[in-house]
Amino acid sequence: MRSRKARPLFARAQTASSDRDFILVARAQSVTLRNNPMRFPALAMIVAMTLPLTAVANPVQDSYRAAAKQESAAFTDFSATRGEAFYKAKTGDVSCASCHGDAPKAHGKHATTGKDILPLAPVANAERFTDAAKVEKWFKRNCSDVLKRACTANEKGDFIAYLLSVK
């Protein structure tokens, strides 16, 4: 019974062509797993083993990893501490915080126009750092505005590390 239920789903997963199909399959599989207590300890173990490594994994942040290594051979990993210093550092009289606020969990305010800016920390705004093109668009603009230059991949990764660390 169990295997008969799981097999067609597996077959479907192999042929899933769209994200939506994939979600449907994933949901169906998790239901199958829930119905099978025998599988649960194994699953729990896998989750427990990978959780510390994947808890803050962010694909957009990961996309900067290879470039950061290329920038510096000494690069090991992104740092939330460095990211926070970067976020608050002023160039002239502006910093990231000038518009995004000292507390990135709260709403920000555009320094020139006064327009409301949704929170930058994913804990308060889950949409943040999920769209690579949007992230790049704003790094290009805002690094140019604040730093008068482009940001390095290391800086971008640190910046995201800091915002992901905000709880």
Residues found near another protein in the complex (CB under 8 A): 110, 112-115, 137, 140-142, 144-145
Q: Write down the least CB distance from residue 110 to another protein, Å.
A: 6
**Residue 78 or 139: which CB sits closer to another protein?**
139
Q: Which of 142, 154, 93 is nearest to 117 (CA)?
A: 142
Q: Write down the least CB distance from residue 150 to another protein, Å.
A: 10
Q: Residue 116: in which H helix or E strand, if any? A: strand 116-117
**Residue 70 or 130: which CB sits closer to another protein?**
130
Neighbouring residues of 132: CB distance < 8 A, sequence distance ≥ 6 = 59, 60, 63
Whose structure tokens read 């608050």?
88
Q: Write down the least CB distance from residue 96 to another protein, Å.
A: 14
Handedness of CA 43, 49, 52, 56 (dihedral sign): negative
Q: Write down the least CB distance from residue 57 to another protein, Å.
A: 27
Distance CA 91, CA 97 (A): 11
**Residue 88 or 110: which CB sits closer to another protein?**
110
**Residue 34 or 140: which CB sits closer to another protein?**
140
Distance CA 163, CA 127 (A): 13
**Residue 2 or 110: which CB sits closer to another protein?**
110
Q: Write down the least CB distance from residue 114 to another protein, Å.
A: 5
Q: Any long-range contacts for 26-33 (C-beta under 8 Å, 24+ apart)? A: 32/2, 32/5, 32/6
The answer to whether residues 142 and 98 touch, using CB atoms and an 8 Å cutoff, is no
